[in-house]
């Protein structure tokens, strides 16, 4: 049956809240008013249903989701020059059901595909909530398709995936006769819209506006060649062409990105940029991409149109080597992400397209990489939902190029505008792109003009050529001969070291870690040094030369001590930055640590240590981390790939602290499932993801008071400022107190919640994945190390919540704080305990289960 929605009369009593619309919503609303019903404003996705097709259950679950998310009960209204979001108390909803069982089996899939295309491309004729449609196409009694279509006014791709994830939990809970395990939402989209309006009004985006004005200055109307002149009235059609990327090409591309210290997104974008440069002969290439727009963890569970677009402009003048192009792209992406909070619609207002019938550079070519986390299958009680490729509602841009990771491998696809391109042209483009990606991965030093390119011989409209811009300079490696005496630079560098280490004097040859430096302070040091000298230094380089003199050499500075300057350590371009070897010889089982370098460094310096010690990482300040949207299991599998490069086979000893301890726990699980031996899992302050939820009200407050006392001790000891003290608590951030203080000029920067601004996004993203993680039982040997600020005493588990989950030998050791966070207590250090546990005759006082 089909469902027809009629515009309902909204009574004043139906409105429960009122919020301003965001710039993105105002832009979409204007499109609906000026262009009428527009299918390109649809967000379409689809899933296979495998199992019992229970329509009443599905309809009940979707109604509960509409009740849960205010944006699905929101109506839009103009009041003067303003657009408002009016949240209603309820919204009528029905599932559309199309029964295909009357058709011959060989016709059902074909008809489902036709109906899927029709549904994706059908615009919303009414703006009455919910701006959401669900259609179930039933192939047989236990198989069908669920089509989900939302309007860009109220959702985005993330929202669709979130809604389906929650739908599955609701269906599973109803089937099992329990309450759905969905946390109470900390806020709704309207709250975010109100905050964004105030933030923009008070100049919060001023720095980003200045950045984009400079970055897009002189931008030509970049456009790719087309097969035909744009029609006077666009048809608003869209189509998708796709192909599998050969496995060997992906292997080479992923390895090449890793070897250059780049994300795969940056590598894929650089290859696309090179392809567009060869195709258009433009030196000035502009490609857009989308970011989730959910920087705060509280926004991850909220449905709404948070997605934002950023523009990535790359200079290909001078025929650079692909490796240099990739380095430039990586820097461009990092800068753009830093300024990604400015609504893209404000950029579009400043850069309207030229009057030639084309969309303009800011809506020309788009690029995205979607990993398997976006297409995860879900169980929903009596059935399962399995994602499969969506269909085009209509082309929003000239070309949308995607690299999509699926269980069967990687796929490249392109959504395109049939008004402009023949299908054969888009197929040619994808084949060319894959060939260029393979060639660039095989020989990163190849120049763009040497990449394989065979033009498609078809009549094409003339491309608009952008004026050439000066090439992006490529920094040469620093050598001893290039070092210059720079007393001012030397003093600035030493001042950064003194400030980070909180010491009055730091000698040129003082060891960073011997002075109490840890991984967090190392990140702060590198971020401060990059800001001061305009060049990124990797953490691996700091560990090879952990002195001011060693860092000065990397910046081409002689500390003017009278000593002969030593050659600079190799640059990150010559290194695998994800692997930091701390001790490269030893006969015992190697120790591999996850992210926490400070403890591993101290362990590597201990007398008698006869083991190789290595730290593996997926994050370094200045590099995009690439873990947004991944589950902890998926993040662990990526770490595991790095670990296998270091040590292909067991046995293994793993170490991780805090959230990295939970990550090490899952890595150990995956190694054991692969048949490997994990000799020991050593962790520090590793909380079970749900342990704090299991504490009583009294226990939680005891823990908070203990944490406050520890933080106050750091303030009194000079290890933390008062601003840093308050910054570790979420309430001032949620209330916007720091944003207000910054706007008033009372503080220069918002303090990070994790204690390290450079690692803030990575750690908060990782902790979000940790909080959603459900650990399986583990029967291997585990050593848990707890510091004085870990909760202890009556009612608290010494293991921090792992009783019954860790079923193998588990010992708990109380240790003092690492580094110089607090005055040393009468307890061993973490590295002392690990060394003692690994020693045949090691004896340490423990609380052992």
Tell me whether strands 484-485 and 557-558 are parallel, antiparallel or unpaired.
parallel
Over residues 442-467, the pLDDT tens digits come to: 999 999 999 999 987 654 444 433 33
DSSP strand pairing (588-594 vs 611-616): parallel
**Chain segment 263-274, per-residue pLDDT in tens:** 899 999 999 999
277-301 burial code (b ≥16 CB/10 A, e <16): bbbbebbbbbbbbbbbbbbbebbbb
Quote the DSSP letter at residue 758.
G
Determine which helix (DSSP H) or strand (DSSP E) holds 684, and give its type and residue range. Answer: strand 678-684
CA 84 to chain CA centroid, nearest Å: 31
- Torsion angle of alpha carbons 747, 752, 753, 759, nearest 10°? 180
Instruction: Report how far residue 742's alpha carbon sits from residue 808's, in angstroms, rounded to the nearest whole number.
Output: 50
Q: How big, in percent rounded to 5, are the helix, strand and coil portions of the chain?
A: 40, 20, 40
Residue 357, pLDDT score: 59
Residue 840: pLDDT band with limits 50, 70, 90: low
The model's pLDDT over 510-540, given as tens digits with 9 standing for 90+, comes to 877 777 676 667 767 877 777 777 776 766 6
- Give which of 530, 527, 524, 568 is closest to 547, Cα–Cα: 568
SS3 308: strand
| 709 pLDDT tier (thresholds 50, 70, 90) | low
In terms of Cα–Cα distance, which of 267, 388, 373 is closest to 330? 267
pLDDT of residue 560: 58
Two tokens at 45? 């996705």
Structure confidence at residue 477 (pLDDT) = 40
Q: What is the pLDDT of residues 486-497, one digit of tens each?
A: 667 788 888 888
What is the rounded CA–CA span in Å between residue 580 and residue 569?
14
Task: For the chain, give the percent of residues with pLDDT over 70.
Answer: 78
- Min mean pLDDT across 683-687, 740-744, 807-811 is at 740-744
12-188 CATH fold: Chloramphenicol Acetyltransferase (3.30.559)
- Contact 540/580 with Cβ under 8 angstroms? yes
Per residue in 639-652, pLDDT (tens digit) is 998 898 889 888 99
Fold agreement between 12-188 and 194-450:
yes
Helix axes 247-259, 264-280, angle to 10 degrees: 110
Phi, psi of 155 (to 5 degrees): -160, 180
Instruction: Give the separation between CA 64 and CA 649, rounded to whole angstroms.
Output: 49
**pTM of the predicted protein model:** 0.56
Q: What distance in Å separates the CA atoms of residue 533 and residue 475, rounded to the nearest whole number?
A: 13
pLDDT top residue among 289 and 379 = 289
**What would the pLDDT profile of 675-697 be if each residue is shown by its tens digit?**
999 999 999 889 898 887 777 76
What CATH class is the domain 579-693+772-848? alpha beta
Return d(Cα 779, Cα 761) in angstroms, integer.
33
Query: How many other β-carbons are positioned within 10 Å of the β-carbon of residue 535?
Result: 14
Please state which architecture CATH assigns to domain 480-574. Answer: Orthogonal Bundle (1.10)
pLDDT at 630: 85
32 alpha carbon, distance to own chain's centre: 32
Read off the pLDDT band of 734 (50, 70, 90): low
- Minimum mean pLDDT range among 44-53, 139-148, 695-704, 741-750: 741-750
Angle (CA) 224 229 234, round 5°: 100
Q: CA-to-CA distance for 95 and 132, rounded, in angstroms?
A: 10
- List residues bridging with 365 in a β-sheet: 399
Per-residue confidence at 352, pLDDT binned at 50, 70, 90?
Answer: low
Give the separation between CA 152 and CA 132, rounded to whole angstroms.
10
As given in the structure block, the two tokens for residue 27 are 């832009």
- pLDDT over 50 (residue 481): no
* Alpha-carbon Rg for the chain in angstroms: 28
User: Looking at residue 21, what is its pLDDT?
Assistant: 94
Q: 77-126: per-residue pLDDT in tens? A: 999 889 999 999 999 999 999 999 999 998 999 999 999 999 999 999 88
Most confident of 33-42, 122-131, 838-847: 122-131
Q: What is the rounded distance in angstroms from the CA atom of residue 128 to the CA atom of residue 149?
A: 15
Closest C-alpha to 766, from 626, 620, 580: 626
CB 224 within 8 A of CB 276: yes
Q: What is the pLDDT of residues 213-253, one digit of tens each?
A: 888 888 877 789 999 888 888 888 899 999 999 999 999 99
- Closest to 157 (Cα-Cα) out of 328, 42, 288: 42
What one-character DSSP code corresponds to residue 484? Answer: E
Q: Domain segments of the chain: what residues?
A: 12-188, 194-450, 480-574, 579-693+772-848, 696-760
User: Across all residues in the chain, what is the average pLDDT?
Assistant: 81
**Dihedral over alpha carbons 755, 757, 763, 765 (to 10 degrees):** 130
Average pLDDT over residues 718-745: 58
Instruction: Provide the pLDDT for residue 597.
Output: 76
CB atoms within 10 A of CB 6: 8
DSSP conformation letters of 341-405? TS-HHHHHHHSPPPSSSS--GGGSEEEEEE-GGGG--EEETTEEEEE-----S--SSSEEEEEEE
Residue 517's alpha-carbon distances to 523, 595, 821, in angstroms, are 10, 15, 10
Q: What is the DSSP string of 87-144?
A: EES------EEEE-TTS-HHHHHHHHHHHHHHHHT---S--PSP-EEEEEEEEETTEE
Shortest CA distance to 335 belongs to which of 535, 757, 751, 622?
A: 622
Burial class (CB in 10 A: 0-12, 13-18, 19+), 103: middle
**667: buried, middle or exposed (CB in 10 Å: 19+, 13-18, 0-12)?**
buried
Q: What percent of the chain has pLDDT over 90?
A: 38
β-pair partners for 285: 314
pLDDT digit string, tens, across residues 536-581: 676 667 766 778 888 888 777 776 544 444 444 444 433 467 888 8
Sequence-distant (≥ 6) Cβ neighbours of residue 374 within 8 angstroms: 157, 161, 387, 629
- Tokens 């390895």 correspond to 255
Scanning the structure block, which residue is given the tokens 């666009």?
Answer: 234
User: What is the spatial distance between Cα 222 and Cα 453, in angstroms, rounded to a whole number?
Assistant: 20
User: Long-range contact list for 714-722, CB < 8 A, 24+ apart?
Assistant: 714/821, 714/822, 717/822, 717/823, 718/502, 719/502, 719/820, 719/821, 719/822, 720/755
pLDDT given at position 732: 57
pLDDT digits (tens, 9 = 90+) for 383-415: 999 887 788 888 889 999 999 887 778 999 999
pLDDT tens string 819-839: 443 344 456 777 778 887 887
What homologous superfamily is domain 194-450 in, according to CATH? Nonribosomal peptide synthetase, condensation domain (3.30.559.30)
Please compute, for residue 678, the number of CA atoms within 13 A of its CA located in the half-sphere on the CB side.
27
């Amino acid at each position: 049956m089909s469902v027809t929605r009629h515009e309902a009369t909204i009574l004043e009593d139906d409105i429960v809240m009122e919020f301003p619309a965001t710039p993105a919503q105002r832009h979409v609303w204007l499109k609906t008013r000026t262009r009428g019903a527009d299918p390109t404003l649809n967000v379409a996705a689809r899933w296979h249903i495998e199992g019992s097709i229970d329509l009443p259950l599905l309809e009940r679950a979707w109604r509960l989701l509409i009740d849960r998310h205010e944006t699905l009960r929101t109506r839009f209204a103009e009041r003067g020059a303003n657009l408002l979001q009016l949240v209603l108390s309820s919204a009528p909803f029905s599932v559309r059901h199309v029964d295909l069982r009357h058709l011959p089996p060989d016709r059902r899939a074909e008809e489902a595909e036709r109906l899927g295309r029709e549904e994706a491309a059908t615009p919303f004729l009414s703006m009455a909530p919910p701006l959401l449609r669900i259609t179930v196409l039933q192939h047989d009694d236990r198989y069908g398709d669920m089509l989900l279509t939302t309007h860009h006014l109220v959702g985005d791709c993330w929202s669709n995936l979130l809604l389906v994830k929650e739908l599955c939990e609701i269906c599973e809970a109803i089937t099992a006769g329990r309450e759905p395990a969905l946390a109470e939402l900390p806020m709704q989209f309207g709250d975010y819209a109100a905050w964004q309006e105030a933030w923009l009004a008070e100049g919060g985006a001023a720095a980003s506006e200045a950045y984009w004005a400079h970055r897009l200055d002189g931008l030509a109307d970049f456009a790719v060649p087309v097969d035909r002149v744009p029609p006077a009235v666009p048809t608003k059609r869209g189509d998708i062409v796709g192909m599998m990327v050969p496995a060997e090409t992906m292997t080479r591309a992923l390895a090449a990105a890793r070897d250059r210290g780049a994300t795969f997104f940056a590598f894929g974008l650089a290859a696309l940029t090179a392809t567009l440069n060869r195709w258009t002969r433009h030196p000035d290439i502009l490609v857009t991409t989308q970011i989730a727009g959910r920087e705060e963890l509280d926004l991850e569970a909220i449905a709404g149109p948070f997605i934002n677009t950023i523009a990535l402009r790359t200079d290909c003048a001078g025929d650079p080597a692909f490796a240099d192009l990739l380095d430039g792209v990586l820097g461009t992406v990092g800068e753009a992400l830093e300024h990604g909070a400015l609504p893209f619609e404000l950029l579009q207002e400043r850069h309207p397209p030229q009057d030639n019938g084309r969309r303009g550079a800011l809506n020309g070519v788009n690029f995205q990489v979607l990993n398997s986390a976006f297409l995860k299958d879900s169980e929903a009680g009596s059935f399962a939902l399995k994602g499969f490729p969506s269909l085009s509602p209509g082309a929003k841009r000239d070309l949308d190029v995607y690299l999509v990771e699926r269980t069967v491998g990687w796929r490249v696809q392109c959504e395109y505008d049939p008004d402009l391109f023949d299908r054969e042209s888009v197929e040619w483009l994808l084949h060319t792109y894959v060939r260029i990606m393979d060639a660039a991965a095989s020989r990163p030093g190849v120049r763009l003009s040497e990449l394989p390119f065979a033009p498609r011989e078809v009549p094409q409209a003339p491309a608009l050529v952008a004026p050439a811009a000066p090439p992006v300079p490529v920094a040469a490696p620093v050598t001893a001969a290039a070092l210059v005496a720079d007393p001012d630079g030397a003093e600035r560098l030493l001042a950064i070291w003194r400030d980070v280490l909180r010491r009055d004097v730091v000698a040129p040859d003082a060891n960073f870690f011997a002075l109490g430096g840890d991984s967090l302070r190392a990140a702060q040091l590198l971020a401060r040094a990059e800001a001061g000298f305009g060049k990124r230094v990797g953490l691996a380089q700091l560990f090879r030369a952990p002195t001011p003199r060693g860092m000065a050499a990397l910046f081409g500075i002689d500390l003017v001590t009278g000593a002969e300057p030593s050659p600079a350590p190799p640059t990150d371009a010559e290194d695998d930055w994800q692997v930091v070897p701390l001790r490269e010889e030893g006969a015992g089982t190697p120790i591999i640590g996850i992210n926490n370098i400070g403890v591993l460094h101290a362990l590597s310096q201990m007398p008698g240590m006869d083991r190789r010690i290595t730290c593996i990482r997926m994050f370094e300040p200045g590099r995009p981390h690439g873990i947004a949207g991944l589950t902890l299991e998926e993040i662990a599998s990526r770490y595991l790939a790095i670990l296998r490069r270091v040590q292909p086979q067991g046995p293994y000893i793993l170490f991780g602290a805090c959230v990295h301890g939970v990550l090490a726990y899952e890595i150990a699980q995956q190694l054991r499932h692969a048949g490997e031996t994990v000799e020991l899992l050593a962790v520090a302050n590793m909380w079970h993801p749900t342990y704090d939820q299991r504490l009583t009200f009294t226990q939680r407050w005891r823990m908070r008071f203990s944490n406050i006392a520890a933080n106050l001790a750091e303030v009194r000891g000079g290890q933390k400022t008062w601003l840093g003290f308050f910054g570790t608590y979420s309430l001032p951030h949620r209330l916007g107190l720091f944003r207000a203080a910054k706007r008033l000029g009372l503080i220069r920067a918002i303090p990070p919640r994790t204690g390290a601004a450079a690692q803030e996004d990575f750690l908060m993203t990782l902790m979000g994945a940790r909080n959603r993680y459900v650990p399986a039982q583990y029967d291997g040997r585990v050593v848990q190390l707890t510091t004085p600020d870990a909760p202890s005493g009556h009612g608290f588990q010494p293991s921090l919540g792992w009783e019954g989950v860790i079923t193998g030998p588990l010992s708990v050791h109380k240790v003092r704080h690492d580094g110089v966070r607090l005055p040393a207590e009468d307890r061993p250090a973490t590295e002392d305990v690990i060394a003692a546990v690994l020693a045949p005759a090691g004896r340490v006082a423990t609380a052992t289960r």
